[in-house]
Amino acid sequence: MLGFARPAMQHKVAAQLISAASLRSLHSSSPSRTMSSMVEGYSPLRLLLIGSPGSGKGTQSARIQENFEVETISSGDLLRKNIMQGTEIGKIAAMEMQNGALVSDKVMVKLIDMELNKIGSEQSWLLDGFPRTMSQAVTLDNTLQAVNQPLNLVIHLNVPEEVILQRIMDRWVHIPSGRVYNMTYNPPKQAGLDDVTGEPLERRLDDNPETFKIRLQKHHELTEPLLDYYRHRGILISLSGNTSDEIYPQIRELLQSRFRPEEVPVTEAPVAEAQI
């Protein structure tokens, strides 16, 4: 599905950062949109989650998946699965990831391409961790435009850096599923084991202070241009909060207002008052 990137397109759409509130009001004055899986004829959700390492992209993806009918694709989870299975992609990715460097655009495009191709055009989906470079962003856009399924929302998780290093140091993951735990915030029911499969949890190789510093630097360097790109397209929403519990209700409200049917007043025939 994805092809290789052409030089960055110039977007002439007026620069505009839409707040969650203004987007809600924009949509409340237009026909309600919802996920196609719920109401026929509406565009499915095509959402990107962007945020620093440890900002809660994986945590929020899991909640969105649980509460909305959305397929989730996490680039980091896919890479870790490939490493675990010893695939060619896994072998290429292992070294970069361990050092906090980025895996090449070529590999990433191939990986995400395979996953997107498994999803039906009417299915809502979200991407966590892809795109990460302008080249990846432009490639994704060109491909989605070509099949007339453009992105319709980009959510930037804006979490203060002071809180995220500790989260990372406390993180345990179930590599095959990508489920994440935190020893104080959302510990597993049984220490060291995944809640669903009972399989052992692991630490990520890149979850140490040195590698985290590099990942954070990379994130700063690459994310600003990406945010500008989507801001200019008018599809960027930045949500701030110290914890995922503060941010998730904002995401839920946003998705409900845009992709779920509005509550329609029931118009049944008036019920006669009970005769006493």
Which residues carry a binding-site annotation for GTP? 54-59, 171, 180-181, 244
Phi, psi of 171 (to 5 degrees): -85, 135
CA atoms of 205 and 186, how far apart (whole Å): 20
Contacting residue, 89, 137, 151, 180, with ligand AP5 by CB under 6 A: 180
Sign of CA dihedral 133, 134, 137, 139: negative
Which residues 81-120 are close enough to bind ligand AP5 by CB under 6 A? 96-97, 100-103, 108
Tell me which of Mg ion, ligand AP5, none is bound by residue 138, counting a contact when its beta carbon lies within the kind-specific cut-off of 5 to 8 angstroms.
none
Nearest to 74 by CA among 65, 66, 87, 85: 65
171 is catalytic: yes
Parallel, antiparallel or unpaired: strands 46-51 and 124-128: parallel
Tell me which of ligand AP5, Mg ion, none is bound by residue 34, counting a contact when its beta carbon lies within the kind-specific cut-off of 5 to 8 angstroms.
none
Q: Which two tokens stand for residue 169?
A: 């140091």
Q: How far is the CB of 247 from ligand AP5 (least distance, A)?
A: 8
Which residues 55-74 are close enough to bind ligand AP5 by CB under 6 A? 55-59
252 is catalytic: no
132 is catalytic: yes
Q: Does 51 bind Mg ion (CB under 5 A)?
A: no
Q: Does 244 bind ligand AP5 (CB under 6 A)?
A: yes
Query: Do 58 and 177 touch, CB atoms closer than 8 A?
Result: no
Q: Which residues of 34-62 are buried (b: 16+ CB within 10 A; e: fewer)?
A: bbbbeeeebbbbbbbbbbbbbbbbbbbbb
Preceding peptide of 209 cis, ω within 30°: no
Q: Does 58 bind Mg ion (CB under 5 A)?
A: yes
Q: How far is the CB of 205 from Mg ion (least distance, A)?
A: 14
Interface with Mg ion by CB under 5 A: which range of 51-59, 62-70, 117-125, 203-211? 51-59
Query: Do 44 and 37 touch, CB atoms closer than 8 A?
Result: yes
CA atoms of 25 and 114, how far apart (whole Å): 37
Nearest to 113 by CA among 63, 148, 75, 86: 75
How many CB atoms are closer than 10 A to CB 126?
23
The active-site residue out of 24, 63, 204, 218 is: 204
x/- letters, 20..39, toward ligand AP5 (CB under 6 A):
--------------------
Q: How far is the CB of 65 from ligand AP5 (least distance, A)?
A: 13
Query: Do 159 and 251 touch, CB atoms closer than 8 A?
Result: no
x/- letters, 136..175, toward ligand AP5 (CB under 6 A):
x------------------------------x--xx----
Tell me which of ligand AP5, Mg ion, none is bound by residue 54, counting a contact when its beta carbon lies within the kind-specific cut-off of 5 to 8 angstroms.
ligand AP5
Q: Does 46 bind ligand AP5 (CB under 6 A)?
A: no
Tell me which of ligand AP5, Mg ion, none is bound by residue 243, counting a contact when its beta carbon lies within the kind-specific cut-off of 5 to 8 angstroms.
ligand AP5
Interface residues with Mg ion (CB under 5 A)?
A: 57-58
Query: Which residues are catalytic, by number?
Result: 57, 132, 171, 204, 215
